[in-house]
Amino acid sequence: VLGNSFGRIFRVTTAGESYAGAFRKNDEIPQLLRGGLTTIVDGIPDGVQIEAPEIQKELDKRRPGQSEIDTPRSERDKVYILSGVMENGMSTGAPITLYISNGELHDEHVEKHASYKGVVRPGQATYSYFEKYGRNMDWFGAGRASGRETASRVAAGALAKICLDKMGVDVVAYIRSIGSVQSEEVSYEDAKKNYKKNIVNCPDLDAGSQMIELIKEIRDKDDSVGGTVEVIIKGIPSGIGEPVFDKLDAVISHAIMSIGAVKGIEFGLGFDYKTKMGSEVNDVPKFNEHSGKTDFLTNNSGGILGGISNGDEIRFRVVIKPTPTIARKQETIDVMKKENIHLSISTRNDPCICPRIYPVCEAMTRIAILDSMYCSFGYKAVKKMINDK
């Protein structure tokens, strides 16, 4: 109800902030535990082999400080499995607790954030958090609205991936545009082939080089830039999704729009539908006599009809706003002192969030898909038991 959990059967709960206040300065707590994130994942069935390095692999995709266009922050994001898995790596069916340490938590960074207490960062969550939580809000590094919270989602998504891999369902995300640099739409196969071939993860390699140059230019002007991420889901069976409030596209949208800095999502043709005729864009089904299955001649709907998967690949795009925190001088307010002020902030930030957000989009998609499969196959299994009697 209070928005810290997602999913109906496969359910993920995250706790922790950018610098996780309560255990930041407590000497009774070992250094390793200070400022970390906790994730509880309920719904991994028993008997699944879960190893920390597989989760770590996904976390390392999101971790800052890995390339010349990242924030210089280098939180090591090491993951520990605390419950729900036996010593042989087998899940027990109980909730799995994951702990992600923050190996780069230094007093100087905390003090820098403390010096901005009361200062609203334009475009950041500070103002609305203050309206809701008042003086008790976490002022350090955006608290729960921090991009750091998304490490928890990536860890949970890695567990969903282990399950989806076994069912032949794959999720891949890539950068489609940054600022005015637009890449071509690529096939699932090309997105896999050129996955992470450049530091922006754009499989259109020419466009990728231009994106990197653009990000550097914008960083040197103390500014930031937005972009789009494209996500493909391959191998999802038809019949997944529920009427009417839990349509598959509605559940995926909820998952994706819950990520900070995401401002929009479109499936298939998306907003391009607005100027089209039905005769141009309807996906025509054809019965395939060889396979006995139905093929669609086009996939403008993005693989979902009536909120239920039609067996085609699911494709959607997500728009990401420019990183709100920028070094350039801006007008703002101090909500504690009730003053108009100028701000040029010098904490560490990414000039573009896209290269760090695509693994979060993959993770939230996997969580939404696995949860939706639980619901739809649960319905099917109960229906069968009733109708077989």
Ligand X SMILES: Cc1cc2nc3c(=O)[nH]c(=O)nc-3n(C[C@H](O)[C@H](O)[C@H](O)COP(=O)(O)O)c2cc1C
Q: Pick the piece of the chain touching ligand X (CB under 6 A) from 98-106, 190-198, 235-243, 353-361.
A: 353-361
Tell me how far apart the alpha carbons of residues 258 and 16 are, in angstroms, rounded to a whole number: 16
Q: Which of 12, 160, 214, 360 binds ligand X (CB under 6 A)?
A: 360
Convert residues 102-131 into a mask of x (bound to ligand X by CB under 6 A) and - (unbound). Answer: ----------------------xx------
Q: Please tell me the distance from the alpha carbon of residue 356 to that of residue 321, in angstroms, as a whole number.
A: 13
Q: By CB under 6 A, tell whether 323 contacts ligand X.
A: yes
Give the strand pairing for 339-343 and 79-83. Answer: unpaired
Peptide bond into 244 cis (omega under 30): yes
Q: Which is nearer to ligand X, 255 or 360 (CB)?
A: 360
Tokens representing 54? 């597989």
Is 251 a binding residue for ligand X by CB under 6 A? The answer is no
Q: Could you tell me the smallest distance in angstroms from the CB atom of residue 46 to ligand X? A: 32
CB of 322 vs ligand X, minimal distance in Å = 9
Query: Which residue, 302 or 324, is less far from ligand X as judged by CB?
Result: 324
Is residue 309 within 8 A of residue 342, CB to CB? The reply is no
Judge contact between 358 and 261, C-beta under 8 A. no
* Binding letters toward ligand X, positions 135-164, x by CB under 6 A: -------x--xxx--x--------------
Q: Please give the residues from 55 up to 94 whose contact with ligand X meets the rule CB under 6 A.
A: 71
Interaction between residue 364 and ligand X (CB under 6 A): no
Q: Does 350 bind ligand X (CB under 6 A)?
A: yes
CA distances from 237 to 245, 374, 379 (A): 20, 13, 15
Question: For residue 40, what are the contacts with CB-CB under 8 A and spacing of at least 6?
Answer: 12, 13, 15, 95, 96, 97, 98
Torsion of CA 119, 354, 315, 169, to 10 degrees: -100
353 near ligand X, rule: CB under 6 A: yes
Q: CB of 224 within 8 A of CB of 352? A: yes
**Nearest-angstrom CA–CA distance, 98 and 101:** 10
The nearer residue to ligand X, 150 or 183, going by C-beta atoms, is 150
Which residue's CB is nearer to ligand X, number 75 or number 350?
A: 350
- Nearest residue to ligand X by CB is 147
Q: What does the binding site for ligand X look like in residue numbers (CB under 6 A)?
A: 71, 124-125, 142, 145-147, 150, 259-261, 321, 323-325, 349-350, 353, 356-357, 360
